[in-house]
Amino acid sequence: MTDQQSLPSVWASDGSGVEVVDAAKYSSGWVAEIPTYQNFNYVLQTTTKNILAYAERNSYQWEDSINYSIGAKVTDNDTHTYYAFQDSYNSDPSIDVAGPKNSWKRAPNFGETPTITDRDTGLHLNNVDTNTTAAWAQQSQTVTAFRPSVALVTTTATDNHVIMNDAGFLSTLNTGTTSVPDGRSATGNAEGLYRIYHEGYPPEAGVGEVPQDNIVYGRQYKSTDSEAYWVPTSGTIVANACPNPVRGAGQGWFNLADGTHYTDIFDGDSSQWVPSSPPQVPTADSIPFDNTGTTLTATTMQAAIVELSLQN
């Protein structure tokens, strides 16, 4: 491998003894002649400057009259970096703004040329793995590290998040408005670190955690000192204060304030406490009538009313 030799050195950098070579001479090159040292210095100076410019920017600034091919990278006055998504000639990326875009994107593309031509749509990984089967044969992107992570940083004043593989667990770290790594703990029970549960990694069963098996939406669960798992419960809460209903879970509540038992009922619109045995409005024929001291023979209020109506 060739060793790099004094890359920052530019030939004739002080400008003395340099004379511009015109376009015609560049086209023909040296012929049967002895070139002036001023012209020769200019050629060497231009070559070394161009090499150094690439080292400084990792790309050249855009110029017209260059045939750029797909994947070419240029800078726009050192402000933005552009990538050609199609062959381009004399299409200035700084003014290539009318949609659809003509030639340039601000983010690179890997794989096949994307059909999206909006220059601000970000990084494209377009069929880079060329895998056409359902088998895990290739992958589009790999992040390998002790704790591989991807930061999702917003430009607004809202929380930022880092998605990571924390010791084998898919996790997310809420960093607040901090966007630059600050050395905070990012493993185990660290503040702001949450594991992402999914079918392959369901929540663990245990006191203080969500039940693992046979979870029914809206039901309540309990745990005792002798149990390692949450178990469904439909017991009755005994309290003065009204507990929150749980979407018609059938939970009971005995109200110590009025001595009434309520049941959690969902009526299709809301969940609410309903008296389990609401009071029945008595009817006249069920109310006893004491006929002592009267001439009536009726023993219920309804019979007494009828008897009195007949006497009149």
SS3 284: helix
pLDDT digits (tens, 9 = 90+) for 200-226: 776 655 444 444 455 555 555 665 544
Residue the block writes with tokens 């004043």: 157
For residue 150, the model assigns a pLDDT of 96
The larger pLDDT score, comparing residue 251 to residue 101, is at 251
> Do the beta carbons of residue 86 and residue 114 sit within 8 Å?
no
Residue 167, pLDDT score: 85
Domain boundaries, the chain: 67-125, 149-195, 234-275, 284-312
Rounded Cα distance, 189 and 111, in Å: 40
The model's pLDDT over 266-312, given as tens digits with 9 standing for 90+, comes to 777 777 888 877 667 777 677 888 888 888 888 888 888 888 888 76
Of residues 11 and 230, the one with the higher pLDDT is 11
- 200 token code pair: 């392959």
pLDDT for position 207: 43
Tell me: the pLDDT tens digits for 64-102? 889 999 889 999 877 888 888 888 888 888 886 555 567
The per-residue b/e assignment along 35-58, b for 16 or more CB within 10 angstroms, e otherwise, is: eeeebbbbbebbebeeeeeeeeee
Average pLDDT for 260-264 = 83
Say which range, 81-85, 114-118, 152-156, 245-249, has the weakest mean pLDDT.
245-249
Looking at the chain, the whole-number percentage of residues with pLDDT higher than 90 is: 29
DSSP H helices in the chain = 23-28, 37-57, 301-311
Task: Return the pLDDT at 117.
Answer: 65
Pairing between β-strand 260-266 and β-strand 252-255 as defined by DSSP bridges: antiparallel
One-letter amino acid for residue 109 of the chain? N
245-265 mean pLDDT: 77
